[in-house]
Chain A
Amino acid sequence: NAGVTQTPKFQVLKTGQSMTLQCAQDMNHEYMSWYRQDPGMGLRLIHYSVGAGITDQGEVPNGYNVSRSTTEDFPLRLLSAAPSQTSVYFCASSYSRPSNYGYTFGSGTRLTVV
C-alpha cells in the first residue's frame, strides 16, 4: 500500500516552461487536493477535487490547471512556469469529507523556477 505518491521529488524549470506534477493514490480516496508550501506562508490550497470529473479552485489557483479523469490520479499542470511558482508542492487525499477524516499527504515535490 503506497499511499499518496508524488513525482518527481525535485524539478528545476526555466521560466515559461510547462510541466505536470503527478499525484497518485491507491487508497480509493474520493477527495484530493494540491497545496503549495512557502516559507512564512504555510500551506495554501491550489485546487481540489471531490471525485472523478469534479474539480474546484482553492485559494491560489492562478497559473495552475488540474483534471481528475480517474479516482487514483490528480495531476497538477503548470502552463507557463514563473519564478513565483518556486515552492514545495504537496498532494493530499481523503477517504471522504476531509472535515471528518483529515488528509493523507504525499512527500512533496520541490520545484525551482529559474
Chain B
Amino acid sequence: SQELEQSPQSLIVQEGKNLTINCTSSKTLYGLYWYKQKYGEGLIFLMMLQKGGEEKSHEKITAKLDEKKQQSSLHITASQPSHAGIYLCGAAQGGSEKLVFGKGTKLTVNP
C-alpha cells in the first residue's frame, strides 16, 4: 500500500519566517492534496496538484509537485499566527478512490 511520509513532524517558527513542509510518497503519485486542520475541527482543502512540476499558490502558501521524486513541498512565506495548525498531505492510492494521508505536520507560529 502507498505510504506518505511528512517532514518535519512538528515545526515552531517565529511570525514572519518562511517555512517548508515536505511530503514523500512510497509509490507513484497520481495527484497530491494538501489540507489544513485546526485543533478540534475538520480538514480544510488547500490545493490539489496533479502534474509533475505543477505549482499552485493560495495567499502566502505555495505547493509544488515533483513527480520524479514522488514528493511535494508546501512553502509558507512570512508566516502568521493564522497559519498555525496541522498540515496533511493526501494522495489517491494507485489512482483509485481511496485517499491515503500522511501523519501530518504540526505548525506553531509564535507572535
> Are B30 and A107 interface neighbours, CB within 8 A?
no
> Which B residue's beta carbon lies closest to that of A40?
B103
Q: Which of B31, B99, B100 has the most CB of A within 10 A?
A: B99
The interface-forming segment of A13-21, A79-87, A93-101 is: A93-101
> Are A45 and B99 interface neighbours, CB within 8 A?
yes
Q: When A40-B103, A41-B103, A42-B88 are in contact, do A105 and B98 touch as well, CB less than 8 Å?
A: no
Interface string of A30-56 (1 = CB under 8 A from B): 010101000011110100101000000
Q: How far is the CA of A104 from the CA of B41 in the complex (A)?
A: 13
| Interface range on chain B (Cβ under 8 Å from partner) | 20 to 34
> Are A102 and B101 interface neighbours, CB within 8 A?
no
Which residues of A approach B to under 8 Å, CB–CB?
A: 4, 31, 33, 35, 40-43, 45, 48, 50, 58-59, 90, 92, 97-108, 110
Show 19 residue pairs from A and B whose CB-CB distance is below 8 angstroms, ordered by the A residue. A33-B99, A41-B103, A42-B104, A43-B88, A43-B90, A48-B98, A59-B100, A99-B30, A99-B31, A99-B92, A102-B45, A102-B48, A102-B99, A103-B45, A105-B43, A105-B44, A107-B41, A108-B41, A110-B40
